[in-house]
Amino acid sequence: MPLPNEEIISKVEKQVLDLFPSARGLEVTWSSVVKIGQSLYREAPGNDPFRPDQKTPVKNFFLSGSYTKQDYIDSMEGATLSGRRTAAYICGAGEELLAIRKKLVVDHSEKASGKVQMLQTS
> Looking at residue 18, what is its pLDDT?
93
Residue-wise pLDDT tens digits, 58-96: 988 999 998 899 888 778 898 999 999 999 999 988 888
Q: Which of 31, 42, 43, 38 is nearest to 6 (CA)?
A: 31
**33, 68 contact by CB (below 8 A):** no
**82, 72 contact by CB (below 8 A):** no
Residue-wise pLDDT tens digits, 97-112: 777 777 775 444 456 5
State mean pLDDT over 1-29: 90
State how far Cα 122 lies from the chain centre.
32
Residue-wise pLDDT tens digits, 28-55: 899 999 887 766 666 778 888 888 999 9
Task: Measure Cα distances from 11 to 5, 16, 20, 22, 61 in Å.
Answer: 10, 9, 14, 18, 43
> Looking at residue 57, what is its pLDDT?
93
| Domain segments of the chain as ranges | 1-37, 50-122
> Looking at residue 109, what is its pLDDT?
47
Rounded Cα distance between 92 and 31, Å, is 44
